[in-house]
């Protein structure tokens, strides 16, 4: 019985005060960091440390994911900016009151005054807009005439008519027509406004004949 008690006391003493018998000198053993010991304080510290490590790991993963999303968003925004397309033109500027037509055949209207040509899709030499990329575009055409002959126009994509404007002459001198359409274009498709044979349009220094288009969204 006494031997058992002595062994318990020795075991408790060694647990409480760990020593090293190096060259006969009693020196304290260097403890390993982050080791969860038997006492409540050190165990709580160890658990807190583990929680902090998990939080740090989660935070780093979150920051990395946010950084990727930000990079992707910037790339998408740059792509949209690079592909912006919009134009707005009129037959003449405000100092010109010339008319265009009539002719014995259909003619492409070459709008000479450019208000806006974002993306350089419109060519004033040919009167043609070339779609820079595939997508849905909004196109608008207005024609005007104050002469005896009424105004008219065909909105054509790759020479295929998608909208027709026609205004018959009445008792008043001023006649106009407008068409607004949304069409799906492929990259490279060509859009133009044709003056039908026998029709006439006039500007009278007021930007009365216009052709406008812009990309609604790519697809």
* Peptide linkage before 170 cis (omega within 30 of 0): no
**Token pair 């008792």: residue:** 171
Per-residue model confidence as pLDDT tens digits over 144-185: 998 878 899 999 999 999 999 988 766 777 889 999 999 999
Interatomic CA distance for residues 110 and 126, integer angstroms = 6
> What's the pLDDT at 71?
86
Which of 12-16, 36-40, 62-66 is predicted most confidently? 62-66
Is the model's pLDDT at 59 over the cut of 50?
yes
Instruction: State the pTM of this model.
Output: 0.65
Look over the chain and give the mean of its residue pLDDT values, rounded to a whole number: 82
Going from N- to C-terminal start, the domains of the chain cover: 85-218
Is the model's pLDDT at 89 over the cut of 90?
yes
Q: What is the mean pLDDT of residues 90-107?
A: 90
* CATH architecture classification, 85-218: Sandwich (2.60)
Q: Which pairing describes strands 25-28 and 19-22: parallel, antiparallel, or unpaired?
A: antiparallel
Q: What are phi and psi of 82, to 5 degrees?
A: -70, -25
> What's the pLDDT at 40?
58
More confident residue, 214 or 70: 214
> What's the pLDDT at 93?
85
Is the model's pLDDT at 6 over the cut of 50?
no
Q: Residue 107's pLDDT band (boundaries 50, 70, 90)?
A: very high
More confident residue, 101 or 34: 101
Interatomic CA distance for residues 31 and 131, integer angstroms = 74
**Token pair 């133009």: residue:** 192
More confident residue, 110 or 8: 110
Is the model's pLDDT at 216 over the cut of 90?
yes
Is the model's pLDDT at 18 over the cut of 80?
no
């Amino acid at each position: 019985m006494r031997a058992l008690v002595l062994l318990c006391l020795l075991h408790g003493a060694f647990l409480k005060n760990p020593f090293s018998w190096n060259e006969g000198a009693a020196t304290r053993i260097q403890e390993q960091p982050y080791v969860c010991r038997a006492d409540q304080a050190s165990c709580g510290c160890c658990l807190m440390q583990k929680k902090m490590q998990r939080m740090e790991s989660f935070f780093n993963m979150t920051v990395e994911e946010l950084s990727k999303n930000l990079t992707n968003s910037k790339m998408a925004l740059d792509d949209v900016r690079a592909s912006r397309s919009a134009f707005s033109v009129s037959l003449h500027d405000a100092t010109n009151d010339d008319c265009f037509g009539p002719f014995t055949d259909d003619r492409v209207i070459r709008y000479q005054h450019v208000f806006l040509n974002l993306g350089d899709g419109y060519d004033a030499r040919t009167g043609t807009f070339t779609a820079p990329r595939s997508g849905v575009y909004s196109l608008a055409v207005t024609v005007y005439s104050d002469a005896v002959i009424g105004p008219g126009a065909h909105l054509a994509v790759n020479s295929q008519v998608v909208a027709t404007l026609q205004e018959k002459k009445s008792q008043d001198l001023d006649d106009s027509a407008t068409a607004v359409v949304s069409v799906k274009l492929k990259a490279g498709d060509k859009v133009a406004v044709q003056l039908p044979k026998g029709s006439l349009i006039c500007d009278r220094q007021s930007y009365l004949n216009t052709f406008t288009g812009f990309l609604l969204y790519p697809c």
